[in-house]
């Protein structure tokens, strides 16, 4: 599961020392330090803050940058407490390569008072250098990717934005090296061109790693699962769920497969699993792996079906930002009058813990009549059916566009209603615009038809993760 460690901010605060060494403003440093400490205190409610000292010249800027690198901060917050010259800023930027900088366009006073001292005035001159810096970097030919936050230190919105940047930067940093395993490959039975990934491009843009697991490895694990373990989980499933069509023999086989799948994932040390159920896995193992997939999601694993790499990465981003389980979702049925879209997937798309409070999940046969024409496959299969909890939701997918992967994000709510007899886990999504506009927007910008759905409102954090990744973001509902 996601670590509860707070994101770490390196606070770069200062201004040119000329003011207090040449211009007689001897009281200015103490006023600047006071504001820096005030900012630090506000940020420390949600973040760990590294504030080395008040920076007054280029050498000190480099020294601060080295400290931030050594402490492995997630972002460097560039707070121009008073005017900071470009040499100081570029010296800092040179030292913090790989750490995302956020420019805080702020000042020492909350407003423009009717009267003020020159020292008070001096605590506001950093506005000028913060305005100047982006233009100077453009003229230098710098490919400078940075965040911008505007507002006074006492402004809750501004502080919240800084914290969001820190969370997003930590997410992107933790994304690097995440291991996604195909089991055994992308969708092979039904060609879905939108899910055909560019693995090299995805690795280059996000830093993830890709591996493969083979069906035979799962089959061997299934054969080694002890009868007592299988019986214990079978009984647990009967206690937790209302079993409708499946026989006990089918539920037992689904339990055995679930145990083996969990053991395999743990052994392979993967962070996300992109499963393709046909034409190989289900016929060879004798059971569709939906119960096992749902249990993996409950344990904090990212699971997608049809070998979907894009949604696996989108879901990893979501998990790193908020730590909540992720529902593999697609648009399946709409109600224009109610502005509802029912969606989910064929099973194993959501964890049992995501079932609406006060309801009991069911175990059903598949939504298909049977697998009678698929040699080796179970006749009916076993999968969970429930509706997920109501509340705000975000839907995220990555789309392979001309210049690389881009984000597509939808906002709305999970409807508080009863579960439908659809034979899979589902969420009824109400976007915050009309369905006509929602689907028109989808057609306009292009999407992958699968989404990662999370019961949370984290669109601001997703925006900032996209910014840090240099990945274009298109809203589908705003």
Same domain assignment for residues 289 and 436: yes
Q: What range does the domain containing 152 cover?
A: 8-175
Classify residue 218: in a domain, yes or no.
Answer: yes
Is the peptide bond prior to 279 cis by the omega test (within 30 degrees of 0)? yes
Same domain assignment for residues 230 and 317: yes
Classify residue 130: in a domain, yes or no.
Answer: yes
In angstroms, how far is the first alpha carbon of the chain from the final one? 31
Classify residue 104: in a domain, yes or no.
Answer: yes
- Please tell me the pTM assigned to this model: 0.94
Same domain assignment for residues 300 and 283: yes
Question: Which of 154, 175, 196 is the last residue before a domain boundary?
Answer: 175
Same domain assignment for residues 151 and 220: no
Same domain assignment for residues 246 and 390: yes
For the chain, the domain total comes to: 2
Sign, Cα dihedral of 100, 455, 306, 246: positive
What is the distance between the alpha carbons of residues 273 and 457, in angstroms, rounded to a whole number? Answer: 25
Same domain assignment for residues 317 and 400: yes
Locate 194 and state its tokens: 């939108």
Same domain assignment for residues 463 and 441: yes
Same domain assignment for residues 85 and 135: yes
Question: Which of 141, 175, 209 is the last residue before a domain boundary?
Answer: 175
Classify residue 211: in a domain, yes or no.
Answer: yes
Classify residue 1: in a domain, yes or no.
Answer: no
Classify residue 2: in a domain, yes or no.
Answer: no
Q: What are phi and psi of 472, to 5 degrees?
A: -65, 140
| 8 Å CB contact between 6 and 45 | no
Length of the chain equals: 478
Question: Which of 156, 175, 194 is the last residue before a domain boundary?
Answer: 175
Question: Which parts of the chain have pLDDT scores under 70?
Answer: 1-4
Same domain assignment for residues 320 and 219: yes
Classify residue 444: in a domain, yes or no.
Answer: yes
Which residues are paired to 384 by β-bridges?
363
Classify residue 433: in a domain, yes or no.
Answer: yes
CATH number of the domain residue 79 falls in: 3.40.50.10940
Query: Three-class SS string for the chain?
Result: CCCCCCCEEEEEEECCCHHHHCCCCCCHHHHHHHHHHHHHHHHCCCCEEECCCEECCHHHHHHHHHHHHHCCCCEEEEEECCCCCHHHHHHHHHHCCCCEEEEEECCCCCCCCCCCCHHHHHCCCHHHHHHHHHHHHHHCCCCCCCEEEECCCCCHHHHHHHHHHHHHHHHHHHHCCCEEEEECCCCCCCCCHHHCCCHHHHHHHHCCEEEECCHHHHHHHHHHCCHHHHHHHHHHHHHHCEECCCCHHHHHHHHHHHHHHHHHHHHHCCCEEEECHHHHHHHHHCCCCHHHHHHHHHCCCEEECCCCHHHHHHHHHHHHHHCCCCEEEEEEEEECCCCEEEEECCCCCCCHHHECCCCCCEEECCCCCCCCCCCCCCCCCCEEEEEECCEEEEEEEEEEECCEEEEEEEEEEECCCCCCCCCCEEEEEEECCCHHHHHHHHHHHCCCCEEEEECCCCHHHHHHHHHHCCCCEEECCC
Same domain assignment for residues 170 and 206: no
Same domain assignment for residues 397 and 468: yes
pLDDT digits (tens, 9 = 90+) for 176-219: 999 999 999 887 777 888 888 899 999 999 999 999 999 999 99
CATH number of the domain residue 270 falls in: 3.20.14
Same domain assignment for residues 76 and 157: yes
Position of tokens 């409807």? 415
């Amino acid at each position: 599961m996601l670590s509860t460690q707070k994101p770490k901010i390196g606070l770069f605060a200062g201004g040119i020392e000329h003011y207090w060494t040449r211009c007689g403003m001897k009281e200015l440093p103490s006023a600047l330090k006071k504001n820096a400490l005030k900012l630090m205190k506000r940020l420390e409610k949600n973040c760990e803050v590294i504030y080395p000292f008040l920076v007054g010249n280029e050498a000190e800027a480099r020294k601060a940058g080295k400290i931030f690198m050594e402490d492995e901060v997630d972002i460097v917050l560039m707070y121009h407490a008073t005017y900071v010259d470009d040499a100081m800023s570029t010296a800092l930027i040179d030292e913090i390569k790989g750490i995302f900088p956020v420019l805080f366009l702020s000042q020492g006073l909350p407003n423009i008072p009717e009267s003020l001292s020159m020292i008070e005035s001096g605590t506001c001159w950093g506005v000028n250098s913060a305005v100047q810096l982006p233009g100077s970097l453009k003229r230098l030919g710098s490919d400078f990717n940075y965040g911008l936050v505007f507002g006074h230190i006492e402004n809750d919105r501004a502080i919240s934005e800084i914290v969001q940047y820190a969370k997003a930067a930590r997410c992107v940093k933790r994304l690097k090296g995440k291991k996604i395993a195909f089991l055994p490959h992308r969708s092979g039975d039904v060609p879905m061109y939108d899910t055909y990934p560019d693995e090299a491009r995805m690795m280059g843009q996000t830093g993830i790693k890709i591996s493969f697991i083979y069906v035979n490895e799962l089959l061997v694990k299934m054969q080694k699962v002890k009868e007592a373990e299988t019986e214990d989980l079978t009984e647990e499933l009967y206690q937790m769920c209302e079993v409708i069509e499946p026989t006990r023999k089918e539920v037992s086989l689904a339990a055995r497969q679930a145990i083996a799948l969990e053991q395999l994932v743990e052994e392979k040390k993967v962070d996300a699993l992109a499963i393709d159920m046909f034409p190989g896995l289900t016929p060879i193992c004798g059971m569709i792996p939906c119960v096992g997939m749902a249990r993996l999601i409950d344990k904090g694993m990212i699971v997608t079906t049809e070998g979907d790499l894009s949604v696996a990465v989108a879901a990893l981003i979501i998990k790193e930002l908020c730590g909540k389980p992720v529902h593999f979702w697609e648009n399946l049925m709409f109600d224009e009058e109610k502005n509802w879209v029912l969606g989910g997937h064929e099973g194993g798309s959501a964890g049992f813990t995501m079932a609406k409070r006060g309801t009991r999940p069911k175990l059903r046969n598949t939504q298909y009549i049977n697998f009678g024409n698929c040699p080796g496959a179970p006749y009916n299969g076993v999968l969970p059916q429930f509706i997920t909890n109501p509340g705000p939701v975000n839907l995220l997918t990555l789309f392979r566009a001309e210049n690389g992967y881009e984000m597509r994000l939808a906002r709305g709510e999970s409807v508080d209603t009863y579960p439908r007899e659809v034979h899979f886990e589902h969420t009824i999504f109400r976007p915050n615009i009309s369905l006509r506009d929602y689907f028109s927007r989808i057609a306009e910008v292009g999407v992958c038809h699968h989404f990662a759905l999370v019961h949370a409102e984290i669109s601001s954090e997703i925006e900032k993760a996209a910014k840090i990744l240099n990945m274009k973001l298109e809203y589908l509902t705003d």
